[in-house]
Amino acid sequence: MADFAKKQNRRVLTFLVRCFVLVIAATLALQILPWKRLAVILPSLSPFVAICSALAIRTLSVITLLAVPLFIMALWRGRWFCRNLCPVGFLSENIRRLRRPANPNFTKAPLIGQWVVLLTLGGAILGYPLFLLFDPLGIFNGFFQALCRPFSVSSMVYCLPLLIVLTINFVWVGLWCSHLCPLGAIQVMLFRLWGIFRHNILILYRQESPDNNKVLTARRDILALGTGILAAVTTRKLFRGRAMKPIRPPGAIDESNFTAVCIRCGNCTRACPAGIIEPDPGGYGVASFMTPTLRFENNYCQEDCNSCNEVCPSGAITGLSLAEKRKTTVGLAKVDMSICLLSEERECTVCVRICPYDAVKLAFSEEDYISIPKIDPDKCTGCGACEWVCPVSPKKAITIESVS
Task: Give me the residues that bind ligand SF4 (CB under 6 A), please.
Answer: 249-250, 262-268, 271-272, 274, 276-277, 292, 301-302, 305-308, 311-314, 316-317, 325
Inter-residue contact 40 to 313 (CB < 8 Å) = yes
Whichever of 236 and 264 has its CB closer to ligand SF4, that residue is: 264
Whichever of 104 and 273 has its CB closer to ligand SF4, that residue is: 273
The packing angle between helices 182-206 and 136-147, to 10°, is: 160
* Shortest reach from residue 239's CB to ligand SF4, in Å: 16
* Shortest reach from residue 50's CB to ligand SF4, in Å: 12
Cα–Cα distance, 115 to 356 (Å, whole number): 49
* Shortest reach from residue 311's CB to ligand SF4, in Å: 6
* Shortest reach from residue 198's CB to ligand SF4, in Å: 35
Inter-residue contact 147 to 55 (CB < 8 Å) = no
Determine the length of the chain. 404
Burial class (CB in 10 A: 0-12, 13-18, 19+), 370: middle
* Shortest reach from residue 279's CB to ligand SF4, in Å: 8
Query: How would you label 260-291 residue by residue, b for 16+ Cβ within 10 Å and e otherwise?
Result: bbbbbbbbbbbbbebebbbbbeeebbebbbbb
* Shortest reach from residue 250's CB to ligand SF4, in Å: 5
H/E run at residue 374: strand 370-375
Whichever of 188 and 386 has its CB closer to ligand SF4, that residue is: 386
* Shortest reach from residue 217's CB to ligand SF4, in Å: 32
- Give, in degrees to the nearest 5, the angle at Cα 254 between 226 and 311: 100
Give the largest Cα separation in the chain, rounded.
97
Whichever of 174 and 315 has its CB closer to ligand SF4, that residue is: 315
Q: Where are the beta strands (DSSP E) in 227-312?
A: 277-279, 292-294
Cα–Cα distance, 240 to 88 (Å, whole number): 32
The packing angle between helices 87-96 and 2-30, to 10°, is: 120
* Shortest reach from residue 387's CB to ligand SF4, in Å: 14
Half-sphere exposure (CA, 13 Å, Cβ side) for 87? 25
* Shortest reach from residue 283's CB to ligand SF4, in Å: 17
From 74, 265, 80, select the one nearest 159 (Cα to Cα): 265
Cα–Cα distance, 210 to 200 (Å, whole number): 7
- Give, in degrees to the nearest 5, the angle at Cα 18 between 15 and 312: 170
Whichever of 41 and 311 has its CB closer to ligand SF4, that residue is: 311
